[in-house]
A and B are shown apart, each in its own frame.
Chain A
Amino acid sequence: MSLDDAVRLTEILLALAFLQQSIEHIDAPRDERRLFLPRIFLSILLLLGFQTQWVCLALVLLGLLILRRFQGPYNGGSDRMSLLILCCLSLVYFMPTLRWQEYIFGYLALQLVLSYFVAGWVKIVNPEWRKGRALQDVFGFSAYPVSEALRTWADRPRLLCVMSWAVMLFELVFPLTLLTQTTLLVGLTIAAAFHFGNACLFGFNRFFWIWLAAYPSILWLQQRVFD
């Protein structure tokens, strides 16, 4: 995948993710709608590929206003990933040389790898995660399970211990999937399935769409470095 193709695919996936996020604010209070209606308009322009460098810059400025409105991210990690992708895209357009464009887009790919590896590392060094107790707590009393019925999963410690280890090991070995295109595709498929599961069980739908938007960067980087 060429850099141009990867950037364009990122624009399209980011625009779709922004549309999905922004439409959720349609019936929000007026001051929120004032921020998200322009975001819908700009996302459509980005999707169409119209003046993308200026559209991205406008989306960054709007992103700052949204950060100020909510005094931080509205939706934690998914908003942070949204801003990271957006800022990297914007910088790519304004970099003077191809080399610098590659550094910026490579930084996005590196952060995607770290998003899995660091998440796995901070879990595996915690004995509560290694025993499966942490995941029991997630289901047992955290604010995230989408229904009361899911809380009963906390009573299945053996299953949750297996799930904990599966998640930790996958997150930790993710960087190794970069070695070949096939392993990377398998890794990204598993990662997408993981986000899909989180969206169903914990309602993290925005994470699912925005992490997909970062995948072209890693596909490009793998080809650039290893092929």
Chain B
Amino acid sequence: MASVDNILRSVGTMSALPGTVARIIAILNDTESNSKEITEIIRRDEVLSLAVLRAANSVAYGVPGKTFDIRQATVRLGSAVLTQIALSQQMSPLFKCAGSAYGLRRNALWGGALGGAYAAEQLAKVHGFDDSKLCFLCGLVRDIGQLAIDAHCGETHATIATTDENRSFLDDERAAIGTDHTEVGAALASRWSLPDRIVDAIRYHHGPPGPTQAEHDRLFDIVHAADVICLWAGLGIGDDGLRYRVAEHVSESLLANREQVEDIISSVSTQIARASEELDVTLGAGEIA
């Protein structure tokens, strides 16, 4: 039976966290930093600059007129969108080819990651959580444990789902490999030297501590709710299906307003469809083999 260490050892060859992402995370985590630093990082990276120029001229962002000047483009888009573009563009190579361990085809895991990021960001805005950029990041990386398990186990992991539909898939993972993708993800995030709060957001994305517990953090609630919204939106669903529990305190708070949640689901779906068109790939809908 695999341990977290065994899994992480076998994924030693997996791409490390891109340096640009590490720098952006450090900026997001530092209250003294400002958005100019993110803009500078983008200007120094040719591929990112190109992505920003494309976004600045895309109808998706609703900016009138055309620009071919990177400085003008960064001003037009603003720091929140720049952060989104930088993180998405840099993280996508890690996710795009993964997913066979969960019965997902190419790009489906990436669609789930991006959907979680969009959902977390919108939940933060709707519920007055002041750091929507951090929510976007945590939504994006919440399932990095699936990347590690994918690299370690491959398609053999896709056979572990039991026929008991009322059993959590996390229990199936623990029974099959001795751990689950939340623990593996938190360990991988620690190895990548991500801040503790992001590590814990990954660890608790399927079971955030309740309001009476010392570890309770609204960030974890938002990331958990974003994950549930992805399940409802059909994003990144594989052989694990919908076999994850919804935390009661999150169900009664962040997910209590049906119309609000449906608005977020439809909006996330529209954003994913737009991203699919821009990238000319099908994101999100995973093949159930």
A binds B: no
Q: Footprint of B on A, CB under 8 Å?
A: none
Q: Footprint of A on B, CB under 8 Å?
A: none
